[in-house]
Amino acid sequence: MLSLIATNPEVRLVVPPEAVAAAGPAEDRALLERCRAGDERAMQQLYTRHAGRLFALARRMTGSRADAEDVVQETFLRAWRSLDGFRGEAAVGTWLYRIALNRCRDAFARRRPTVPEVEGAAPPQAGDAMARRSLEAALGELPEGYREVLVLHDVMELEHPEIAAILGVEVGTSKSQLHKARSKMRELLAARGQAA
């Protein structure tokens, strides 16, 4: 990094999600306008604010850290290329999620994971009811639409209005898909003998 000018303390991969939520979409929108005006540091700030959540989404959807990094990089490159195409109908974060999800679909289609990697992450915490690896394997077996809504809601803990905006469906459809997906997960885990 530049020894004299790259001392920007904002350069971190992850900003806590609650901090992004507190700052709100208005700040994202202002940053996006600065990006459109050619301000590279504004794009860097958008990256800093959203990269962590996008990485978490991509990690869960692709099952691979390397694929997740590719997804995050490609997401910001695509967003950067298409700044003028963003019409502001959705929040910037939603727009980024949508791009990332499309990249995840491509990555998942290229390499469908059976049992995702477990690499250097925090220790499994899902042991109360079922093993983490069984959960991950069952997620990988779900139909794409089910997996997406389940990850966005139960893993990423997004609300249905944002999920609906990301997936381009009605809120009711998002809820309906979620409950079908959760029910399917239960069946898959039962078939694996892992249900509580």
CA-to-CA separations, 150 to 64, 72, 176, in angstroms, rounded: 18, 20, 11
181 vs 177: CA distance, rounded Å: 6
- Yes or no: say if 71 and 107 are a contact pair by the CB < 8 Å rule: yes
Identity of the residue, 55 or 97, whose beta carbon is nearer to other proteins in the bound complex: 55
Q: What's the sign of the alpha-carbon dihedral 31, 99, 88, 154?
A: negative
The verdict on 136 binding other proteins (CB under 8 A) reads: yes
85 binds other proteins (CB under 8 A): no
- Smallest distance, other proteins to C-beta of residue 138, A: 9
> Which of 17/145 has CB closer to other proteins?
17
Least CB distance to other proteins at residue 133 (A): 10
Write phi, then psi, for 123 (nearest 5 degrees): -65, 150
Three-state SS for 114?
coil
Contacts of 54 by beta carbon, 8 Å cutoff, 6+ apart: 71, 72, 75, 96, 97, 100
User: Is the CB of 56 or the CB of 89 nearer to other proteins?
Assistant: 56
The answer to whether residues 93 and 28 touch, using CB atoms and an 8 Å cutoff, is yes
Compare residues 26 and 126 and give the one whose CB is closer to other proteins: 126
Site for other proteins in 102-131 (CB under 8 A): 120-126, 128-130
Q: How far apart are CA 151 and CA 131, in angstroms?
A: 17
Smallest gap, in angstroms, from Cβ of residue 170 to other proteins?
14
One of 48, 62, 64, 94 touching other proteins (CB under 8 A): 48
**Residue count, binding to other proteins (CB under 8 A):** 69
- Of the candidates 95, 195, 100, the one whose C-alpha atom is nearest the C-alpha of residue 138 is 195
Q: Which is nearer to other proteins, 53 or 103 (CB)?
A: 53
Residues that bind other proteins (CB under 8 A): 1-6, 11-14, 17, 38-41, 43-44, 47-48, 51-53, 55-56, 59-60, 65, 68-69, 72-73, 76-77, 80-81, 120-126, 128-130, 132, 135-136, 139, 150-151, 154-157, 175-176, 178-180, 182-183, 185-187, 189-190, 195-196
